[in-house]
Each structure stands twice: as structure tokens, then as C-alpha cells.
């Protein structure tokens, strides 16, 4: 199965699950245009989730590369310093992605 087909499958599942569940108490009725609006929000949320996951994954790969580079330059102490620095950056990237996903879950209110 190709990567593209896998991503499409995951996105379709996210859309299906997100479209089936919503918290009506969180948003007033005038903010919702019906089931079609739910599907659009689910699609935006799934797309943002894929984007945030990819960005966080890239940050994790960079973290690993820096740690290996630190090990080559200064041994295990430098590798640990680089790992901790990268870990903080990866957590920040994940937190930003979480906020972006949360923003996409909100309906377009007047």
C-alpha cells in the first residue's frame, strides 16, 4: 500500500469519526450549518492533524540528528545536551500543532 493511499485512508477515518461526533453544548446553534458544516470542520481538522503530525515528526528527526552530531563532536555528554535541547523544541512544535488543530475544530460563527 502506498504512502498516499495510507494517508488518504487515515484522513477519511478522521473525517468519518469527527463528523459523527460534536459537542453541541460547546457551540451555539447559530454557529452550525448542519451536517455539511460538521463534515467540513472534520476535513479541516483532519488536514491540520496530518500537517501537525508531519511537522512534529520532522522536528523529532532533527532532534535525533542533532544528538548523533553531538555525540560525534563531544561524546555522550554533548549528545545528551543536544537531545534535551531537541526534546524541548519537539514538544513546542507538538504544542503549536495542538493549538492549530483546536482552532480548526471551531465552527465559523458570525
| pLDDT tens per residue across span 14-43 | 444 444 444 444 555 556 677 777 788 888
pLDDT value, residue 29? 57
> Is pLDDT larger for residue 99 or for residue 17?
99
Contact 21, 59 (CB under 8 A): no
Of 8-12, 73-77, 102-106, least confident by mean pLDDT is 8-12
The kind and range of the H/E element at 90 are helix 35-104
DSSP string for 64-87: HHHHHHHHHHHHHHHHHHHHHHHH
Residue holding cell 500543532?
A: 97
User: And the C-alpha cell for 16?
Assistant: 468519518
Sketch the domain layout of the chain as residue ranges. Answer: 3-104
pLDDT value, residue 1? 47
| pLDDT tens per residue across span 52-95 | 888 888 888 988 888 898 888 888 888 898 899 888 988 998 99
User: And the C-alpha cell for 3?
Assistant: 504512502
Contact 16, 41 (CB under 8 A): no
| Residue 7 in this model has a pLDDT that exceeds 50 | no
CA angle 29, 34, 37 (to 5 degrees): 105
User: And the C-alpha cell for 13?
Assistant: 477515518
Q: Which among 109, 89, 2, 107 is positioned nearest to 45, based on CA atoms?
A: 107
Amino acid at each position: 500500500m502506498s504512502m498516499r493511499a495510507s494517508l488518504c485512508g487515515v484522513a477519511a477515518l478522521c473525517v468519518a469519526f469527527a463528523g459523527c461526533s460534536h459537542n453541541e453544548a460547546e457551540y451555539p446553534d447559530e454557529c452550525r450549518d448542519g451536517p455539511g458544516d460538521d463534515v467540513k470542520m472534520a476535513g479541516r481538522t483532519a488536514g491540520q492533524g496530518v500537517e501537525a503530525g508531519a511537522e512534529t515528526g520532522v522536528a523529532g528527526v532533527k532532534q535525533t540528528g542533532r544528538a548523533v552530531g553531538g555525540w560525534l563532536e563531544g561524546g555522550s555528554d554533548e549528545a545528551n545536551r543536544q537531545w534535551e535541547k531537541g526534546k524541548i523544541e519537539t514538544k513546542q512544535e507538538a504544542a503549536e500543532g495542538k493549538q492549530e488543530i483546536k482552532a480548526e475544530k471551531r465552527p465559523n460563527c458570525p
